[in-house]
Chains A and B, each alone.
Chain A
Amino acid sequence: MTDLSQSPAGAAPRKHGGSLLQQTPRTRKRNAAEARFRGYGIAAITAGLVMLLVLVTTIVSKGTGAFQQTFVTLNVELLESKLDKKGNRNIEDIKKVTTFGYAPIIKGAMEATVEELGIETSLKAKELAGVLSKDVAAQLRDYVIANPDQIGQTVEFRFLASSRVDGYLKGRVTRDSIVNDKNISAEQLDLVDALAAAGVLEKTFNLDFITGADASDARPEAAGIGVSMLGSLFMMFVVLALALPIGVAASIYLEEFAPQNWLTDMIEVNISNLAAVPSIVFGILGLAVFINYMHLPTSAPLVGGLVLTLMTLPTIIISTRASLKSVPPSIRDAALGVGASKMQAVFHHVLPLAAPGILTGTIIGLAQALGETAPLLLIGMVGFIASNAPETIADGLLAPNSAMPAQIYEWAKRADPAFYERAWGGIIILLLFLVTMNTLAVILRRRFERRW
């Protein structure tokens, strides 16, 4: 290797010449390429993070409005002449008065309030009542039927304002945007301003959005996500009750007992493929098997839970197997050494040690299932109004209901922009659930995970 140190006689001068202190054009080009490449990397990371930021700010800025709602406080005189003409407080007679019968009372209450506050307006009684939600009459009727003894008295009520008025206070509806709007006029907005100044009309926190039921197209202000939250809850019960035992049992068999043969191989390949099957295919399976073949009720959380169980199983199996694998063989050997059977070694020693990992995997699987929408569309958990909270557990499982993501989808499909705010608000709640579950999983892992 000595000849390397000698420069060959008559060698051509170095192509690029120059000294070490001065970069040649080629080096400069290479360094520039290096900087560019690095720049692409930074740009990619930034792009990803910006997307996240945009997504989060969009959700928060558009969704927080759903947690506030405009209410009008009114003193309503429950006229006996309208509600109970016979005056005998017979509940059957009172029930005969439909919500139409309550309209004059509401109009009267609005007129009285406007007069009392000394607001000048040229609006007629019907238009005055137009700032209130269409839900108000039903609310009043429910109250009267529940408290028939209050008829003839004056009671203070907190009524929902209509979604246009609500949008006006939240800045979604402006005086320009309502020029062609049949539902509200500029004069009504003047009235709203005056009522707000008098403190009769105010925007406050809206618990009904979190606990309430969905409402029809015409009453976005009354819609809530509570009932569909219960639907999701029941589905998660089903998933937990089925996917956890089946998933853990399958993993124990595959990890601890299964002999190496074609059957085991086939099951393993199946499970890893199942994890990659599009979720909508599970919906098709659910429709064909559970609804069309087994005739289980459509839209029932039980069916949704069954479909999501099949979807969650691979996730749980994969994470359970990983945590069983991480329990060192010495534990099994020690148990077998003191005379435990193989089954006892697994169930008394390995499984408890793997439990934190299994639990973490289960929570993550449940979080995935909670956010899943596509299969629920096929088994009919959208397209109707989930108006009543289930009363019994059997009802909760079998009565038609919606689920949180399905409810959000339903709102997003409707025409009134007031529902979009609800959809974003629903997403905030859904994401809060997911964040809580994932944080719980991380904490469990940090707290209980053992390094052997």
Chain B
Amino acid sequence: MPTFWLVVLLLALSAAGFYLGRSRALRTAGGDARDLHSLPSYYGYHVALAAFVPAIAVLAVWLLAQPLIIENRVSNLIPAEAVPENTTIGLVMSDVRRVAEGLDLAVEQGLLTRREARDAAGGQDLRALMGEVGVALGSDVRPEVLSAAQSYRNLSHTGKTAMTVVVALLALGGFVWAYGRTHKDFRARNVVERGVLALLILAASLAALTTVGIVLSMLFETKNFFGLHSWTDFFFGSTWAPNFRGGSDLSILPLLWGTLYISFIALLVAVPVGLFAAIYLSEYASGTVRSFAKPLLEILAGIPTIVYGLFALLTVGPALANLFAKGGLLGVEWMAGATSVLTAGLVMGVMLIPFVSSLSDDIINAVPQALRDGSLGLGATKSETVRQVVMPAALPGIVGAVLLAASRAIGETMIVVMGAGAIAKFSANPLESMTTITTRIVSQLTGDTDFASPETLVAFALGLTLFVLTLGLNVLALYIVRKYREQYE
């Protein structure tokens, strides 16, 4: 793990820099800290930061950029005619990577010497060798692939060495430069504070970068997907039938239907229960009831979704099957198995109850007391006040809360993975099992993923759709809350 040791080296260098910088500053001041411009430790920080920060930044950028550059150069090496019909350059590249990885492993395990790995010839032997080290290849290694793999290995090796040298030199350079500048009149605090501020800004932009990363990574793969699969089928087709041998129907519509149906049932459970619970807690309940019921309800929100998923799979599903399936208590045969839209919807509804109730509770509490007093003073009963005065005033907020709950429901994964089933279809029967966007993302991306097949890449298109959908709902919710919120003094 050379990168790990490189980081350890940087840390050690900067720790040494701290002590050396501080003691040098004190020495120039003749051991009297009062003669220094800044506190002694700032001189130490100055050297430590100069040795560490630029080096680690370069290391991070290098680690990110190197794969991209190598990938690019190597894929240029593969002649166009070496890419067989029906496949893409991406597929060949994944072969190249696998061969390179296999050669590395073989060297590591001592099956090949470095020289042998460099001169290895293609054919049957190599494939058998790869199998021995645990790299399964679909076919014999073709010469183009092998030579590309060799240059891939060469480039990565050179890159790694160059990285180590550059980073170490940079760290040493920073160290020497900062150490040289250390003098009792040097304004170390100002420099260090500017550096720290830059680091703070960097940390703050990381959050923004995450979003950029999410969008970019999904956009790239979605673009690849639409290169392999028609977008009209994805958005307007009517069947979801992935087939790993190719020729799949990959349409989002049946998945979207399942997602929306389950979310609808969840909201059907969560909104009335949550809303009435919020109304009762804020308008009727005594202080003791409130202080006891509110935290208890909020426990429901802190339970991990895997627990709800298990509850759906092992408790609610079988209970519903006991009622509605063949040989059940009602004597009907409406359900084929334990997984259904209703199973997932009910459990997800329970999960969303505290979400709706605590959001609505805040909103109802924000309605000024004067409105209630006015209504009660005119002779309205409490429920009339709530329905005709408090609710209209709180409505935008409550709509916002419901939209936020809907966005949670659409993005929820574990409950639907375990409770909803895997059949993509359009059906209005809530007792049938259906599937959702999140479930399909999980099933397309777990196990062996091949980033060159539309069956895997479709998950990124689904993920992007999901991201846009939930983000849109959130933005809409915030917009409604802001735009229609009554401003009370």
Report A's interface with B, CB cutoff 8 A. Answer: 30-31, 33-34, 36-38, 40-45, 47-49, 51-52, 55, 58-59, 62, 245-247, 249-250, 252-254, 257-258, 266-267, 270-271, 273-274, 276-285, 287-289, 292-295, 310, 313-314, 317, 341-343, 367, 370-374, 377-378, 380, 382-383, 394, 398, 405, 408-409, 412, 420, 423-424, 427, 430-431, 434, 438
Contact = CB atoms under 8 A, between A and B. Distances in A.
Interface string B296-322: 110110111111011101110000000
B307 A288 contact: no
B77 interface: no
A266 B208 contact: yes
A377 B446 contact: yes
Contact of B273 (A48, A270, A373, A431): A48
3 closest A-B pairs by CB: A278-B411, A41-B280, A371-B304
A85 B206 CA distance: 65
Interface stretch (B114-122, B333-341, B462-470): B462-470
B442 A378 contact: yes
Contacts of A49: 293, 296-297
B203 A31 contact: no
A274 B211 contact: yes
B57 interface: no
Given A280-B466, A294-B63, A52 B300 contact: yes
Nearest to B445: A378
Contact of B4 (A41, A250, A313, A394): A394
A293 B218 CA distance: 12
A51 B300 contact: yes
Contacts of B414: 373-374, 409
A38 B383 contact: yes
B143 interface: no
B9 interface: no
Interface string B346-389: 00001001100100000000000000000000000111101100
B272 A270 contact: no
A31 B383 CA distance: 9
B280 A270 contact: no
A374 B305 contact: yes
Nearest to B478: A272
B310 A412 contact: yes
A279 B446 contact: no
A189 B272 CA distance: 51
Nearest to B474: A276
Contacts of A398: 1
Given A52-B296, A380-B446, A253 B204 contact: yes
Nearest to B203: A249
A245 B310 CA distance: 35
Given A249-B199, A249-B204, A276-B407, A44 B213 contact: no
Interface string B249-293: 000000000000000000000001111110111011100000001
Contacts, number: 260
Interface string B173-199: 000000000000000010001001101
A250 B306 contact: no
A294 to B, nearest CB: 7
Chain B CB within 10 Å — which of A42, A249, A280 has the most? A280
A230 to B, nearest CB: 18
- Looking at chain B's contact residues, is the secondary structure mostly helix, strand, loop, or mixed? helix
Contacts of B471: 273, 276-277
Contacts of A279: 411, 413
A24 B208 CA distance: 64
Given A285-B214, A288-B218, A372-B304, A250 B207 contact: yes
Contacts of B304: 370-373, 405, 430, 434
Contacts of A278: 410-413, 438, 466-467, 470
A48 B354 contact: yes
Contacts of A409: 306, 309, 414, 418
A34 B193 CA distance: 64
Nearest to B438: A280
B221 interface: yes
B451 interface: yes
Given A267-B204, A285-B214, A44 B309 contact: no
B470 A55 contact: no
B64 A294 contact: yes
B404 interface: yes
A399 B167 CA distance: 27
Contact of A408 (B211, B302, B306, B474): B306
B447 interface: yes
10 contacts: A38-B383, A51-B300, A276-B471, A280-B413, A280-B466, A284-B214, A372-B305, A382-B446, A423-B314, A430-B307
A294 B217 CA distance: 12
Contacts of A47: 273
Contacts of A314: 207
A271 B474 CA distance: 13
A44 B284 contact: no
Given A30-B384, A294-B64, A438-B302, A343 B196 contact: yes
A277 B200 contact: no
B217 A412 contact: no
B459 interface: yes
A167 B211 CA distance: 49
B460 A408 contact: no
B385 to A, nearest CB: 10
B47 interface: no
A250 B200 contact: yes
B277 to A, nearest CB: 4
Interface string B113-136: 000000000000000000000000
Contacts of A284: 214, 217-218, 441, 445, 459-460, 463
Given A34-B383, A44-B280, A273-B474, A412 B309 contact: yes
Contacts of A289: 213, 217
Given A34-B381, A280-B466, A377-B442, A253 B203 contact: yes
A28 to B, nearest CB: 12
Contacts of A371: 303-307
Interface string B47-91: 000000000000000011001100000000000000000000000
Nearest to B200: A253
Given A49-B296, A282-B214, A374-B414, 7 more contacts: A51-B353, A249-B202, A250-B200, A288-B460, A310-B210, A412-B314, A423-B314
A345 B473 CA distance: 40
A424 B207 contact: no
Nearest to B307: A427
Contacts of B408: 276
Contact of A44 (B273, B384, B441): B273
B360 to A, nearest CB: 11
A58 B404 CA distance: 29
Nearest to A371: B304
A55 B303 contact: yes
Nearest to A430: B304
Chain B CB within 10 Å — which of A270, A313, A367, A374 has the most? A374
B137 to A, nearest CB: 18
B461 to A, nearest CB: 11
A37 B354 CA distance: 20
Nearest to A438: B302
Contact of A250 (B203, B277, B293, B449): B203
Contacts of A394: 1, 4
A90 to B, nearest CB: 26
B205 interface: yes
A314 B279 CA distance: 30
Contacts of B193: 341-343
Contacts of B220: 288
A270 B68 CA distance: 27
A249 B204 CA distance: 7
A146 to B, nearest CB: 27
B201 interface: yes
A52 B307 CA distance: 12
B210 A313 contact: yes
